[in-house]
């Protein structure tokens, strides 16, 4: 990969990490942690129209997605650090497409953001709460969104290539 491209991608990853860390710091210090007896409210209402609500709230997540394995924090952090190291090594050693590199950089930036939370706060801070016509979507943060987007982009790339390849036969 060219130096100019790697510099841009590194800047993208650092920007995601910093924006995530700063927003989590703001939520940690200025938004009261959510008490589940009045879920999902208690945060800062941002948007409410057409049956859709968006609230900035403060949720403490000691586990993986949706709080799974909350009793295994040390193991989760160790696995996350191993994945970060493996992704970093893979990006450094392998020659892959720019598209795949962007996907992996999004995943890497999100993973580093969540591990940083575990080290600094002892848990991950989630803050984005969406309610779609009464259904409460799981609360997430910018790092989670970056990981999700990176994985989704990789899945779409694979699916699109398979579709195009099968149509050429």
Measured distance CA(17)–CA(112) in Å, rounded: 7
Q: Is 144 annotated as catalytic?
A: yes
Q: pLDDT tier at 168 (50, 70, 90 boundaries)? A: low
Contact 141, 59 (CB under 8 A): no
Q: Is the peptide bond before 94 cis (omega within 30 degrees of 0)?
A: no
20 is catalytic: no
Q: pTM to 2 decimals?
A: 0.83
Residue 60 has a pLDDT of 86
Tell me: pLDDT of 5 over 80: no
Give me the torsion for CA of 116, 118, 121, 126, rounded to 10°.
Answer: 90
Domain parsing of the chain, residue ranges: 3-168
pLDDT per position as a tens digit, 6-27: 788 889 999 999 999 999 999 9
Cα distances from 69 to residues 77, 91, 155, in angstroms, run 11, 29, 26
Q: Report the alpha-carbon distance of residue 116 to residue 109 in Å, rounded.
A: 10
- Reduced 3-state DSSP string for 121-161: CCCEEEEEEEEECCEECCCECHHHHHHHHHHHHHHHHHHHH
Counted residue by residue, the chain has a size of 169
Say whether pLDDT at 146 is over 90: yes
144, 146, 147, 150: which one is catalytic? 144
Say what the pLDDT of residue 21 is: 96
Residue 35 has what pLDDT? 64
Catalytic residue among 42, 113, 126, 139, which?
Answer: 126
């Amino acid at each position: 990969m060219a130096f100019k491209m790697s510099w841009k991608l590194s800047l993208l990853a650092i920007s995601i990490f910093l924006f995530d860390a700063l927003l989590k710091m703001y939520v940690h210090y200025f938004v009261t942690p959510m008490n589940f007896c009045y879920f999902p409210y208690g945060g800062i209402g941002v948007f409410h129209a057409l049956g859709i609500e968006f609230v900035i709230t403060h949720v403490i997540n000691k586990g993986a997605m949706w709080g799974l394995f909350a009793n295994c924090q040390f193991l989760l952090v160790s696995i996350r650090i191993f994945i970060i190291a493996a992704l970093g090594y893979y990006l450094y050693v392998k020659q892959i497409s720019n598209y795949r590199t962007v996907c992996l950089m999004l995943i890497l930036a999100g993973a580093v953001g969540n591990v940083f939370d575990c080290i600094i706060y002892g848990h991950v801070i989630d803050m984005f709460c969406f309610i779609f016509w009464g259904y409460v979507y799981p609360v997430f943060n910018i790092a989670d969104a970056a990981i999700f987007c990176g994985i989704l982009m990789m899945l779409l790339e694979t699916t699109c290539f398979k579709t195009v390849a099968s149509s050429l036969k």
